[in-house]
């Protein structure tokens, strides 16, 4: 009967935890109980199940572990009181989400289990399928926690309309795939006038609204059906052509779930957001590891950039070190110099993308990324420098082309 359950549930249970497997620990004083629970949980893909048989007087199921599991399944027997006391003695931050299986039907066991932080409780003999479903649900919840995401989430945002955020987002995402061999998802969150698909000459047949409506049933395999694949391997999601979505049609919780799912399935998630602060953008900004603000060399751009940075820091409480400023269409001989921009924004780590009307026009008109049009052009090299920042290498001076050259000369 157990083998039938395993085979049946293996087809029904689709728990995909991306590049980071969910670490589950089964702990008990009984070796046979551990073996039985391992067999019950065997159908869960993308999980690493370990066991700990408590012997030699140990009462803490988490005793001696080098790494805390993501989820703990404890089977209690006659010594349940001391084991739960040991767990309860740990600070809540040092106890993983927990499911209790008890050999005792005493109501006191359930009460003390809940006091120790148990999220679910089963008494033997239990229904294996119910235990499996409970572990699956809790595993999904654990993985939806932004702290458990593997991907680096980068949000790209215009400081002033038309500054070039979509160009930056699409080309940096493309460069991450081409040059760094990374798995990257690019998301267009302009739900009314999104244009990222045009930058890459893609036709979006299934849009973000459809993915949001079905997000509770998605895993990484199903998610891929809502992402359009570019020839480079970059995957793109946005609003399908001809459709407009109102902001109140989008649930922030579903959006958070969708972004978390993408983060588990990719190395990087790059999100192009519209120039506005609302529930949608604030949800994504809260999840971001990095916010790239795109501006240009004018007084009005600098005023809007300074104002946006104040809002992000003061109102949304985004740390200053998570903010990066990109000066697009940069011209060395412009009236407003780089030094003046740095002083005005109190930002010493500017990334400058040089003005290149010819190559940018060709890229936009043909829907071909800059690296594929002019790999050796200064604008393409600047995009590669920005890639290093997006990857988390924050010392932009050392990561620029000139910076690397000076570093080599110093080391000579």
* Confidence at residue 149, expressed as pLDDT on a 0 to 100 scale: 54
Indicate whether this model's pTM tops 0.85. no
As for how many domains the chain has, the answer is: 2
Whether residue 257 has pLDDT greater than 80: yes
My answer on whether 139 and 162 are in the same domain is: no
Nearest to 26 by CA among 75, 60, 64, 96: 75
CA 90 to chain centre: 29
- CATH number at 127 reads 3.40.50.2300
pLDDT for residue 365: 94
CB-CB neighbours of 139 under 10 Å:
22
* Dihedral, CA of residue 390, residue 395, residue 397 and residue 403, to nearest 10: -90
Query: How far apart, in whole angstroms, are the C-alpha atoms of residue 146 and residue 144?
Result: 6
Query: Residue 45 pLDDT more than 80?
Result: no
Choose the final residue of a domain: 126, 146, 166.
146
Same domain, 125 and 173: no
* Whether 361 and 273 share a structural domain: yes
Each residue's pLDDT tens digit, 285-319:
989 999 999 999 999 999 999 999 999 999 888 99
Among 125, 146, 167, identify where a domain stops: 146
Contact in structure between 300 and 269 (CB atoms under 8 Å): no
In terms of domains, do 126 and 168 share one?
A: no
Domain that holds residue 58: 2-146
CA distance 68 to 62: 8
The enclosing domain of 299 has a CATH number of 3.40.50.300
Q: Are residues 157 and 140 in the same domain?
A: no
Segment 65-109, tens digit of pLDDT: 767 788 999 999 888 988 898 888 887 767 888 999 999 888 899
State whether 169 and 132 are in the same domain. Answer: no
Q: What is the CA radius of gyration of the chain?
A: 25
- What is the pLDDT at residue 248? 81
Q: What is the DSSP string of 239-285?
A: PPTT----GGGS-HHHHHHHHHHHHHH-SEEEEEE-S--SHHHHHHH
Say if residues 22 and 46 touch (Cβ distance below 8 Å): yes
Q: Are 172 and 306 in contact (CB under 8 A)?
A: no
Both tokens of 65, joined, read 């572990």
User: Rounded to the nearest 5°, which phi and psi values hold at 100?
Assistant: -110, 135
d(CA 361, CA 133): 53
Whether residues 263 and 126 share a domain: the answer is no
Distance CA 239, CA 280 (A): 14
Q: Which of 116, 146, 176 is the last residue of a domain?
A: 146
User: Residue 408 — pLDDT band, cuts 50, 70, 90?
Assistant: very low
Burial class, 86, CB count within 10 angstroms (exposed 0-12 / middle 13-18 / buried 19+): middle
Q: Are residues 37 and 130 in the same domain?
A: yes
Looking at the structure, tell me whether residues 166 and 219 fall in a common domain: yes
Q: Are strands 118-123 and 235-237 parallel, antiparallel or unpaired?
A: unpaired
Q: Does residue 156 share a domain with residue 142?
A: no
Together in a domain, 236 and 384: yes
Which of 57, 19, 276 minimizes the C-alpha distance to 148?
Answer: 19
One domain for residues 130 and 179: no
More confident: 142 or 131: 131
- pLDDT, mean over the chain: 85
pLDDT, tens digit, for every residue of 172-209?
A: 999 999 887 778 999 999 988 888 888 999 988 888 98
For the stretch 334-389, pLDDT in tens is 999 999 999 999 887 899 999 999 999 999 999 999 999 999 999 999 999 999 99
């Amino acid at each position: 009967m157990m083998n039938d359950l395993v085979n049946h549930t293996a087809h029904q249970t689709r728990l995909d935890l991306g590049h980071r497997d969910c670490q589950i620990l089964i702990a008990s004083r009984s070796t046979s109980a551990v073996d039985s629970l391992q067999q019950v949980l065997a159908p869960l893909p993308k999980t690493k199940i370990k066991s700990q048989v408590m012997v030699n007087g140990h009462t803490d199921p988490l005793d001696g572990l080098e790494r805390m599991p993501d989820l703990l399944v404890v089977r209690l027997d006659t010594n349940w009181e001391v084991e739960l006391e040991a767990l309860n003695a740990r600070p809540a931050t040092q106890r993983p989400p927990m499911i209790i299986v008890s050999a005792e039907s005493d109501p006191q066991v359930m009460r003390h289990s809940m006091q120790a932080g148990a999220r679910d409780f089963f008494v033997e003999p239990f229904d294996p399928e119910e235990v499996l479903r409970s572990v699956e649900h809790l595993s999904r919840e654990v993985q939806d926690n932004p702290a458990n995401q593997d991907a680096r989430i980068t949000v790209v945002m215009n400081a002033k309309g038309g500054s070039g955020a979509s160009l930056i987002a699409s080309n940096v995402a493309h460069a991450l795939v081409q040059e760094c061999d990374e798995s990257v998802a690019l998301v267009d969150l302009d739900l009314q006038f999104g244009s990222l698909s045009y930058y890459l000459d893609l036709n979006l047949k299934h849009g973000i609204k459809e993915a949001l409506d079905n997000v509770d049933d998605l895993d990484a395999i199903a998610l891929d059906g809502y992402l359009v694949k570019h020839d480079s391997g970059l995957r793109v999601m946005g609003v399908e052509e001809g459709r407009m979505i109102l902001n109140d049609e989008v649930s922030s919780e579903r959006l958070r779930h969708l972004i978390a799912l993408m983060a588990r399935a990719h190395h990087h998630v790059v999100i192009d957001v519209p120039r506005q602060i609302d529930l949608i953008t604030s949800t994504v900004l809260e999840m971001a590891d990095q916010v790239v603000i795109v501006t240009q060399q004018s007084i009005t751009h600098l005023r809007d950039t300074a104002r946006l940075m104040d809002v992000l820091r003061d109102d949304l409480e985004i740390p200053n070190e998570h903010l990066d400023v990109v000066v697009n269409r940069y011209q060395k001989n412009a009236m407003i110099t780089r030094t003046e921009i740095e002083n005005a924004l109190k930002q010493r780590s500017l990334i400058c993308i040089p003005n290149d009307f010819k190559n940018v026009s060709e890229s936009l008109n043909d829907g071909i990324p800059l690296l594929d049009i002019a790999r050796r052009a200064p604008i393409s090299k600047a995009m590669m420098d920005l890639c290093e920042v997006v990857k988390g290498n924050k010392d932009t001076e050392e990561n620029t082309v000139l910076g690397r050259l000076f570093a080599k000369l110093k080391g000579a």
